[in-house]
Chain A
């Protein structure tokens, strides 16, 4: 069999799927951030006329998915699968958006790593011959995440300095077997890694070993180093997590140099009072669908690795004192 596997955890696509279109929708705070100009649509408020935050998140995802379909200019029914995920219980934002888009639907849960995971899975479906077009969308919403994972939004309390701010937004891409655009050339599926962090206010620290483990294995599988990339973006490690990931990678023999950045740090600036940076499924999905895709298309970036970072805990497991398992999934996109 003509194997597409490389090393332990990596797949290299025989005919790399093309990212035909991308679309991003964000909330007002994200729109005011340093990447504000790179998003397709900025909502004026967190509800945008919907009657609940949950419905608003789902609507946002729907807009992003439809945006990609329109941008690609193909008829919707030619799309073979829709892959989507979010942070809410039973990935309800995605399920509701899928009800409206009405395509064969695969729900994906990888916590905040869902964008990278979905791109990896979508690319496998296409390169494996199971699909010609795959639509991908991922969302999160600050207020839906707050009420599910933390405290009522109007409650007056202080957030930890290491805490992150869940991004309100939805990012989408449309993958195709053929066409013009950046290509997904490889993917490394991560292992669940747990180094014992129990503080749900320090997700960066919980996820950093998982991201580092995936990068380490990716480099070994493909016999590459950080110098082989123009840009390596982690999903939402934040300031604490990226520093930790870079340090443990250095100790393990992989110096990340200057190409290593984090979507969670880039989406907000220091005046926006988000503490350690942005987080959530939308964080990496809108930065990828917006800024990174534009720079890939412009030829400014030639080879990018997106490493989605996910914290695989639940509010219940955190209350029961269990440590937070992390995961990192990497996809390589080349202009």
Chain B
């Protein structure tokens, strides 16, 4: 809420005009650069995932099994790179490209786990583990339930 009344002298600009002025002085996000980097980083992560799927298929897993094993492997690498302090650097460069793949999900769980370890395993790690990933889980699971119900009635 803006100030209701101010004794003079005050700035000779209204909050509305200030908003416009502030907007014109605020640097815009570098959208094109961000999109290109996200495409590149996201693409590289997915390509690595595909290589791992192919590897697991080669050693005799079925397609579904290879896919699950690959996801688990990618989560492991996401967590490992977070622990080594590398994933936040990848995230700074890649943005959505490194947040959307499953490695980003691993990062969103491991980073609060590391951050809040000092507050203990129950009130710290336990309570804060899903501070970042929580909303994704809540709405992801909610959406999958709704779609599941719809799919049930369509069939």
Which A residues lie at the B interface, using CB under 8 A?
Answer: 8, 51-52, 147, 151-162, 191-197, 202, 205, 208-209, 212-213, 216-217, 220, 240, 243-244, 247-249, 251-253, 276, 322-323
Contacts and interface: CB of A to CB of B under 8 A. Distances in A.
A153 B25 CA distance: 28
Contacts of A220: 9
8 contacts: A153-B115, A156-B82, A161-B29, A216-B10, A216-B11, A244-B25, A323-B1, A323-B2
Contact of B15 (A195, A240, A249, A322): A195
B70 interface: no
Which 4 pairs, one residue from A and one from B, show the smallest C-beta to C-beta distance? A156-B91, A152-B115, A161-B27, A155-B111
B47 interface: no
B25 A247 contact: yes
Interface string B39-75: 0000000000000000000000000000000000000
Interface in B96-126: 98-99, 104, 107-108, 110-112, 114-116, 118
Interface of B: 1-3, 6-7, 9-13, 15, 18-19, 21-22, 25-30, 34, 82-83, 85, 87-92, 94-95, 98-99, 104, 107-108, 110-112, 114-116, 118, 131-132
A196 B25 contact: no
A156 B87 contact: yes
B25 A243 contact: yes
Given A158-B34, A251-B12, A195 B7 contact: no
Contacts of B85: 154
Contacts of A212: 11
Given A156-B98, A160-B29, A193-B3, A248 B11 contact: yes
Q: Chain A at the B interface: mostly helix, strand, loop or mixed?
A: loop
Contacts of B116: 152
B22 A154 contact: no
Contact of B25 (A151, A193, A240): A240
Given A51-B118, A196-B15, A154 B88 contact: yes
Contacts of A155: 88, 91, 107-108, 111-112, 132
A41 B7 CA distance: 44
B27 A240 contact: yes
B103 to A, nearest CB: 9
Nearest to A154: B111
Contact of B12 (A195, A205, A243, A253): A253
Given A160-B29, A162-B26, A154 B11 contact: no
A184 B141 CA distance: 61
Contacts of A247: 21, 25
Contacts of B132: 151-152, 155
B6 to A, nearest CB: 7
A197 B21 CA distance: 12
B85 to A, nearest CB: 6
Most B Cβ at <10 Å: residue of A156, A161, A191, A192: A156
Given A157-B95, A197-B19, A323-B1, 15 more contacts: A154-B88, A154-B110, A154-B115, A156-B98, A156-B104, A161-B26, A161-B27, A192-B3, A194-B3, A197-B22, A213-B11, A243-B25, A244-B22, A248-B21, A249-B11
A157 B98 CA distance: 9
A235 B1 CA distance: 24
Contact of A162 (B12, B15, B27, B107): B27
A195 B29 contact: no
B91 A244 contact: no
A248 B9 contact: no
Given A152-B132, A154-B115, A252 B3 contact: no
Nearest to A202: B26
Contacts of B19: 195-197
Nearest to B26: A162
Given A147-B115, A156-B87, A195 B26 contact: no
B91 A217 contact: no
A197 B3 CA distance: 12
Nearest to A208: B22
